[in-house]
Structure 1
Amino acid sequence: MIRVILADDEAMVRAGIKGILTSDPGIEVVAEAGDGREAVELVIAHRPDVAVLDIRMPGVGGLAAAAGICERVPETAVVMLTTFSEDSYIAEALRVGASGFLLKSGDPRELVAGVRAVAEGAAYLSPKIAARVIANLGGDKMSRITTAIDRISALTGREREVLTLLGAGQSNGEIARELFLVEGTVKSYVSTILNRLGVRNRVQAAVLAYEAGLIDSAP
């Protein structure tokens, strides 16, 4: 069972999101919060698999809550949910360590898929947002490619294999089956890869894999 904390300052919106999530029998919403501060407290208390956070809430907003959760309860994956798609929100959500970013106006099935994906150790961006992440990386394209290739060169052959599959959106379990490894070994590889690449999360690692040419399409 995937245990979820849900935070949104609008009660009716929370009810709708909860209804979508719990339509999947494998997902349980264990607590709800109306602001970011309460969300962080609930995550610390309940240690859920996933925290789904509205990006704009009064007081402590979703981005600040995400940063607090990623720092204090790193085993809880964070999914940001918003009606906005500004690049600054996307970049900041990824910078603080969020594993997923979804639009409230998207297909409800994306929400369930996103929660399942991050709970299994993968990263998830809605298709519209994934395209924007790649299109708005900033800087000179050739310089980014050269830098990415240089950073990837520090990895071992096996680590590059894991990174390639991670970049393609596979979860730890899927990578383990693909490479005939146990899932715990894959988790260790992923942790090492993130440290060696100097990135905070799987999405950032996937972007590097894309820029270095390890995968053919945007994560």
Structure 2
Amino acid sequence: MEKTKILLAEDHLVVRNGIKLLLDAQDNFEVVGDVGSGKEILDLIATGLEADILITDLTMDNVDGLQLIKELYQKNIGIRVIVLTMLDEEQYVAQSFRFGAKAYLVKNVAADEMLFCINHVAKDGRYLCEELAMKLVDKLINKEETRSCKIDPAELSLSSRELEVLELLGEGLTNLEISKKLFLSKRTVEGHRQSLIDKTKSKNTPALIKFAIQNGLLK
């Protein structure tokens, strides 16, 4: 059986050795190189070393993981990259996939899930670990729930003049500036602003603006 050749880039020796032991115990994997920086990976590849998959951390000295992924992609080196990191922020996930990574795992991933991911990527699949996938799903659910709780502007019975005042408040204009722009008295503008606050049950003008943005009255 042909084995999947794997490179490891991880600057913590204990972590790297642990991953290597796990992979070496699999009949279908062969770790052909394990180093502590992205530069060492590039040096190994430059010597002609061939591998199917690279498992790399993101935070390393001498060429970090993101830079490594980018360079491999730019040089058109046909190695599939799996990110294994402590960083669980969306920006790192997005950047990694944008630069060409095939999978993203956080370091508390279970051994079974890591092995599944490697086998999946070896078959040219893409993978996001369960923890981050569910985090994104929860975020989408919360977003949908927030959207479903939005008030229909028609229910507020806002007049066209009140909407004009609201728009100008959203632009940061003062009552006096609005009165001059709409050719109204300052007191009239103040009345419209207070009416907006009352109808939206807002505490003050900043809360009114926040409410208006959340409910699509302002962009």
Q: Deviations over 1:123-147 (max 9, x none)?
A: 111112223456679xx99xxxxxx
Equivalent pair of 1:3/1:49 in contact (CA under 8 Å): yes
Match of 1:120 in 2: 123
Checking the alignment, whether the CA contact within 8 Å between 1:5 and 1:42 is kept in structure 2 is no
3-state SS in 2 of match to 1:42: helix
Aligned mate of 1:32, from 9, 31, 34: 34
Q: Aligned equivalents of 2:44 and 2:88: distance in 1? A: 27
5+ residue gaps, structure 2, are 145-219
Q: How much has 1:43 moved relative to structure 2?
A: 3.3
2:5 is paired with a residue whose SS is strand
State how many pairs are aligned.
Answer: 139
Letter aligned with residue 4 of structure 2? I
Deviation at 1:101, TM superposition (A): 0.4
Change (3 A) 1:35 1:50: same
Q: Distance in 2 between matches of 1:35 and 1:82?
A: 14
Deviation digits for residues 3-29 of structure 1 (CA, Å, limit 9, x no counterpart): 000001111111001111122110000
Pairing 1:111–2:119 present: no
How far apart, CA to CA, are the structure 2 residues paired with 1:61 and 1:134?
29
The structure that has the greater radius of gyration is 2
Hey, what's the Cα distance between the residues in 2 that align with 1:47 and 1:134?
A: 37
Distance change >3 Å, CA 91–CA 22, structure 1 → 2: same
CA contact (8 A) 1:70 1:78 kept: no
Q: How does 1:1-219 map to 2 (within 5 A)?
A: 1-44=3-46, 45-133=48-136
Deviations 1:163-213 (A, max 9, x none): xxxxxxxxxxxxxxxxxxxxxxxxxxxxxxxxxxxxxxxxxxxxxxxxxxx
Higher RCO, 1 vs 2 (CA within 8 Å, ≥6 residues apart) = 1
Query: Percent of counterpart pairs with the same letter?
Result: 29
Native 8 Å contact 1:47 1:73 kept in 2: no
TM-score normalised over the length of structure 2: 0.58
Deviation at 1:41, TM superposition (A): 2.4
